[in-house]
């Protein structure tokens, strides 16, 4: 992968010629923006399929909330939440990622058809995680993490957030490589909102090129996060609720795609699917390499893996 781009190719996953869209299915009663909505297995599978129909390239399934102060779910409960949803989506041809900090959940999700392990602790929460993933040869997301989010954000002090996050991620990547995960199967993620204040998240977004300099594809997960609430509220106002931050999320998706991110992780897929395709079209106009994506423009095509209609047709003729 080029040192300038965080896109690259992740071995073991399909290749997209633009920033990929990872849709989120939280099978939890308490995630901060959508807790409880997809808690039932059937509803969660249907939601994942809907996200694919709206343009998601992968679906990230998680059974444990990582919001500040959340109590950990026990292992059996996490397995009960996650594995049937992973199996249901994978059996429909969806590229599934499993969002977990537990090796046992990762292993069972991979056995049920997941293609990628997304561990917000980058392998720190469970010492069995890296060997378990290395054994299967699955790709692995290494997120910047300074520990569980407890009150007061005591771990979120930085003199130079970009340099420190790059440095700490570099150390984690080395540990992951030493643990036997192949370099072309590692994705890095700055962990927006994890032990970070709004100013830290914004600085990291302003310097995605420095994170790409780690030499691995980059995942950016800004969706509905607190820093977007702060930006939208302005200096005095109250932040809008999480579910009113989707337009702001799509704006970050366009910026991340333009910076060469490999993927963006979002709750509301449709606007981000458009944003990454516009970013790709602009890139094509600059480089002379037109997009080959079957979804670009106003497609009538089917999703490449599920065979479902990718997007609806516009109801009325365009004006200009």
Binding site for ligand PMM (CB under 6 A): 24, 26, 31-33, 65-67, 99, 118, 120, 141, 143, 189, 191-192, 219, 221, 265
Which is closer to ligand PMM, CB of 98 or CB of 310?
98
DSSP 242: G
Task: Point out the residue whose Cβ comes nearest to ligand PMM.
Answer: 221
Work out how close the CB of 314 gets to ligand PMM at its nearest, in angstroms, rounded to a whole number: 30
Burial classification of residue 240, based on how many CB atoms lie within 10 Å of its CB (0-12 exposed, 13-18 middle, 19 or more buried): middle
The residues assigned a catalytic role are 225, 265
Work out how close the CB of 26 gets to ligand PMM at its nearest, in angstroms, rounded to a whole number: 5
Place of tokens 């537990």: 102
Cα distance between residue 180 and residue 235, in whole Å: 47
Residues near 267 by beta carbon (within 8 Å), at least 6 away in sequence? 23, 24, 33, 34, 223, 224, 246, 249
Which is closer to ligand PMM, CB of 88 or CB of 190?
190
Which is closer to ligand PMM, CB of 132 or CB of 310?
132
Cα distance between residue 86 and residue 228, in whole Å: 29
DSSP string for residues in 37-87: TT-SHHHHHHHHHHHHHTT-SEEEEESS--STTPPPPPHHHHHHHHHHHHH
Work out how close the CB of 171 gets to ligand PMM at its nearest, in angstroms, rounded to a whole number: 18
Work out how close the CB of 198 gets to ligand PMM at its nearest, in angstroms, rounded to a whole number: 14
Which is closer to ligand PMM, CB of 26 or CB of 54?
26
Which is closer to ligand PMM, CB of 32 or CB of 281?
32
Place of tokens 């399929």: 49
Helices (runs of H) and strands (runs of E) counted in the chain: 10, 8
Cα distance between residue 251 and residue 102, in whole Å: 32
Q: Is 22 helix (H, G, I), strand (E, B) or coil?
A: strand
Work out how close the CB of 94 gets to ligand PMM at its nearest, in angstroms, rounded to a whole number: 18
């Amino acid at each position: 992968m080029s040192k300038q781009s965080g896109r690259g190719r992740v071995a073991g996953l399909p290749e997209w010629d633009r920033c990929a869209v990872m849709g989120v299915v939280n099978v939890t009663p308490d995630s901060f923006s959508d807790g409880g909505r997809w808690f039932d297995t059937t509803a969660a599978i249907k939601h994942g399929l809907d996200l694919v129909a709206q343009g998601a390239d992968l679906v990230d399934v998680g059974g444990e909330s990582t919001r500040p102060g959340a109590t950990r779910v026990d292992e059996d409960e996490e397995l009960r939440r996650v594995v049937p949803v992973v199996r249901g989506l994978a059996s429909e041809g969806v590229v599934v990622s499993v969002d977990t900090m537990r090796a046992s959940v990762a292993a069972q999700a991979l056995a049920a058809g997941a293609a990628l392990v997304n561990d917000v602790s980058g392998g720190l929460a469970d010492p069995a995680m890296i060997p378990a993933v290395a054994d299967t040869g699955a790709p692995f997301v290494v997120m910047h993490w300074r520990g569980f989010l407890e009150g007061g954000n005591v771990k979120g002090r930085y003199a130079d957030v970009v340099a420190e996050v790059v440095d700490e991620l570099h150390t984690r990547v080395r540990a992951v490589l030493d643990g036997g995960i192949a370099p072309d199967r590692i994705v890095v993620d700055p962990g927006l909102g994890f032990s970070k204040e709004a100013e830290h998240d914004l600085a990291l977004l302003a310097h995605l090129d420095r994170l790409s300099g780690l030499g691995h594809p980059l995942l950016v997960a800004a969706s509905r996060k607190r820093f977007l609430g702060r930006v939208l509220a302005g200096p005095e106002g109250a932040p809008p609720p999480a579910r009113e931050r989707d337009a702001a999320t799509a704006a970050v998706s366009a910026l991340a795609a333009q910076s060469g991110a490999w993927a963006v992780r979002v709750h509301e897929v449709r606007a981000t699917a458009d944003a990454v395709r516009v970013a790709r079209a602009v890139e094509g106009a600059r480089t002379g390499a037109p997009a080959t994506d079957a979804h670009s423009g106003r497609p009538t095509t089917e999703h490449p893996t599920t065979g479902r209609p990718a997007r609806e047709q516009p109801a009325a003729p365009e004006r200009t």
